[in-house]
Amino acid sequence: MAAEAVQQRALAIGQILHQGTGLPVNGAITITSPEGTVVANVRSDGFFAVSGRPELLFPNLATMPATFDLDVHAESAQFRSGFFDTSVSIPLGAGEGFDPPVAAGTILLTADPVYIRGRAVSAVDPHPAIAGATIDLLEGGFVTHTTATAADGSYSFDNVTVLPPVELRCTAGGFTTETRAVTVDYGIPVNEISFRMTPP
């Protein structure tokens, strides 16, 4: 067993991030390969290294190109199902020596759609609701979804896919427009974000 461990070498490196947060996944990640036995070390910052014995995984690589397939399994409350599976294929040229290890790049685990809800009210007592306010959802500075508040000041974006950076903007007549950065929490069913609007 010790001799086999000595023969292991780093074959591939990369990083795994949650698509919706742009950050490492909050959970456990395992990486396997249909080519054979590999050992994966995934750090808390999402960077990983996959090690193995290339002569066993790719016995014909000296003369023929091959593909290094990695299967990623993430278990996290950030996914509705509790887990997410994906695969990545890395082309290998004939004679590949894995020095340095091949780059798998950044593997983004697809974000589930989310629910964002809240209310727009006046910041002046007695906090009356603001009907008809425009709520814009911005991704990367561009408006991707728009809605208006109901009679009770409530609004909702249901089952929408959002990618960082995310902002919400509330515009209402007689009030100063308010824009706020949003960090979506994919571990809860609904993200509640409300606005207390002030006069200009």
pTM recorded for the entire structure: 0.85
Q: What is the pLDDT of residue 5?
A: 46
For residues 27 and 77, is the Cβ–Cβ distance under 8 A?
A: yes
As assigned by CATH, the class of the 2-109 domain is mainly beta
Residues carrying CATH 2.60.40.4130, the chain: 2-109
Query: What is the CATH superfamily name and number for domain 114-197?
Result: Immunoglobulins (2.60.40.10)
Q: What is the pLDDT of residue 198?
A: 95
Torsion of CA 118, 119, 123, 129, to 10 degrees: -170
For residues 137 and 143, is the Cβ–Cβ distance under 8 A?
A: yes
Residues whose CB is less than 8 angstroms from the CB of residue 148 and which lie 6 or more positions away in sequence, other chains included? 132, 133, 134, 135, 155
Tokens of 102: 């091949």
Q: What is the pLDDT of residue 8?
A: 85
Cβ neighbour number for residue 36 with a 10 Å cutoff: 13
Q: What is the pLDDT along the chain (200 residues), one digit of tens a residue?
A: 444 444 789 999 999 999 999 999 999 999 999 999 999 999 999 999 999 999 999 999 999 999 999 999 999 999 999 999 999 999 999 999 999 999 999 999 999 999 999 999 999 877 889 999 999 999 999 999 999 999 999 999 999 999 999 999 999 999 999 999 999 999 999 999 999 999 98
Q: What is the pLDDT of residue 7?
A: 74
Q: How many CA atoms lie within 13 A of 54 on its CB side?
A: 20
Q: How many CA atoms lie within 13 A of 127 on its CB side?
A: 6
CA–CA distance, 143 with 115 (Å, rounded to integer): 17
| φ, ψ dihedrals at 4, nearest 5° | -65, -40
Q: What is the pLDDT of residue 24?
A: 97
Residue position matching structure tokens 């036995």 = 37
User: Which helix (H) or strand (E) is 6 found in, with range?
Assistant: helix 2-7
Q: What is the pLDDT of residue 1?
A: 43
Q: What is the pLDDT of residue 157?
A: 98
Tokens of 2: 């010790």
Residues carrying CATH 2.60.40.10, the chain: 114-197
